[in-house]
Structure 1
Amino acid sequence: MNLHDWIDELCDVLDVDAEIDEGLILDLARVAAHNVARPAAPITAFVLGLAAGRLDDLDAEQVERLAARAQRLAENWDRPAGAPDPEVAGAGLEDDVPDDATIDHTGDEGDL
């Protein structure tokens, strides 16, 4: 069985009616694993799936745009603290985000 067959069977079992671009997902997972941490790969793919599932009309181009945003985040993950985000600079989105690096979030519940 190859990867494409696995994806087809998995979609059938989970009742997912969507075309899956495994190359796009694998590329994003690779970038997240190399630039963030290995465990970031499956988490990133999962969160991309959640974001794609929230779209009103699942469109391959929209998923590609979401994946590109996630990939840019992963590619810039090692940017020095305080460095401007190239996607945000000049777009009026430079709101300060509180630094909670010293707070232990173990056991926190996330908003899903």
Structure 2
Amino acid sequence: MDATQWLARLAAELGTEDALPDEGAVRDLLDLTREVAHGVERVAGPLSTFLVGVAVGRGADLAAATEAASALLDEPAPAPAPTSDGAN
């Protein structure tokens, strides 16, 4: 079974056949997953893609959501919050 067959089978099981991504969307989602996995940590990749999917399910545009997620990788990480003793 290849990825296309798997996604079609999963979509049928979940009742989401109308939401199957086209080739461009697949490429964008896989690129995002890879970028986050390498730029943050591995487990963050698929979980970030999940959150993009939730946003799209709530009405966000897929391209805009993936671009927003990718843009976060270019921003500096926030400084850690100080602990109660004032140390980081």
Range of TM-score over shorter length: 0.7 to 0.9
Match of 1:36 in 2: 40
1:101–1:5 Cα change, 3 Å: farther
In the superposition, the TM-score normalised over structure 1's length comes to: 0.62
Match of 1:101 in 2: 81
In the superposition, the TM-score normalised over structure 2's length comes to: 0.77
Q: Alignment RMSD, CA only?
A: 2.1
Segments of structure 1 that go 5 or more residues without pairing to the other structure are: 82-98, 104-112
Match of 2:71 in 1: 72
Count residues with an aligned counterpart.
79
Q: Which runs of 4+ in 1 moved over 2 A?
A: 99-103
Partners in 2 of 1:8 and 1:19 — Cα distance?
A: 7
1:80–1:6 Cα change, 3 Å: closer
Deviation (angstroms), 1:12: 0.8
Deviation (angstroms), 1:80: 6.0
Deviation (angstroms), 1:101: 3.3
1:52–1:80 Cα change, 3 Å: closer
For 1:14, give the aligned amino acid: L
Work out the percentage of aligned pairs sharing the same amino acid: 30
